[in-house]
Amino acid sequence: MQIQVNTDANVEGRDELTGRVEAEIGAALSRFSDHITRVEVHLGDESAGRSGGADMRCMLEARPAGQAPVAVTHHAATLDEACRGAAQKLNNLLDTHFGRLDDRKGGDSIRTSDQR
């Protein structure tokens, strides 16, 4: 799974920030690494440096192998909180997405389960 970090003009894309974000996203999505080819991280400061509330944005776009990409966005007061929140949202989304793919016809149903 490749992780690509992008920042807007209002966020300094230093190596430290990139490394921290890659580590956090990689750890949060490690169980999906066999199913995902790439995760794109887009970080932004929506207030352009002015003080405010939840003005930091983290958008994550995951590209499952052979399927359409899925994306989530989270806003928070800091970039770390925004990344953590977006990683949790994407983790939940992928859990649901891949869980549905694993549930195929022919599995146990209420009518075919053991009724003793």
Any idea where the domains of the chain sit in the sequence? 2-100
Give me the mean pLDDT over the 17-39 stretch. Answer: 92
| Predicted confidence band of residue 46 (pLDDT cuts 50, 70, 90) | confident
Instruction: For the domain made up of 2-100, give the CATH fold.
Output: Double Stranded RNA Binding Domain (3.30.160)
Residues 33 and 41: beta-carbon distance below 8 Å: no
Whole-prediction pTM value?
0.79
In the chain, count H helices and then E strands: 2, 4
Could you give the 3-state DSSP secondary structure of residue 81?
Answer: helix
Strand 2-7 to 36-45 pairing: parallel
Tokens coding 83? 């990344």
Q: Any bridge partners for residue 4, and if so which?
A: 40
- Give mean pLDDT, residues 2-13: 87
